[in-house]
Amino acid sequence: MSNAITRNSNLVKVLFGLMLCTLLLVGCSSSSDSNPMDSGNDGNPPPVEVKKPVKITINSIKVIKTKDKDWDPSELIKSWKKADLFVKMGLSGGAVDYESNVINDVSPNGSYTFTKHRGLSGKDLPIAYLYVDQIRIELWDNDVVGDDAMGHVTFSPSALYNNDEATTFSKTFSGTNSCKIVVKGTFKY
Looking at residue 68, its amino acid is: D
φ, ψ for residue 52 (rounded to 5)?
-105, 145
35 lies in the same domain as 90 = no
Dihedral, 129, 131, 134, 139 alpha carbons, nearest 10: 50
Does 80 have pLDDT greater than 80?
A: no
- Would you say the pTM of this structure is higher than 0.75? no
79 lies in the same domain as 144 = yes
Higher pLDDT, 70 or 106: 106
Which pLDDT value is given to residue 187? Answer: 96
158 lies in the same domain as 110 = yes
CA-to-CA dists, residue 86 to 96, 160, 162, angstroms:
13, 23, 30
User: Is the Cβ–Cβ distance between 61 and 113 less than 8 Å?
Assistant: yes
| Domain presence at residue 50 | no
> What digits encode the pLDDT tens for the residues 11-31?
777 777 777 777 777 666 555
Rounded CA-CA distance 93/115 in Å is 22
Q: What is the CATH number of the domain that holds 75?
A: 2.60.40.150
> What digits encode the pLDDT tens for the residues 89-144?
999 999 999 999 999 998 888 899 999 998 877 899 999 999 999 999 999 999 88
SS3 of the chain: helix, strand, coil, percent, to 5: 20, 40, 40
Contacts (Cβ under 8 Å, ≥6 apart) of 171: 155, 159, 160, 182, 183
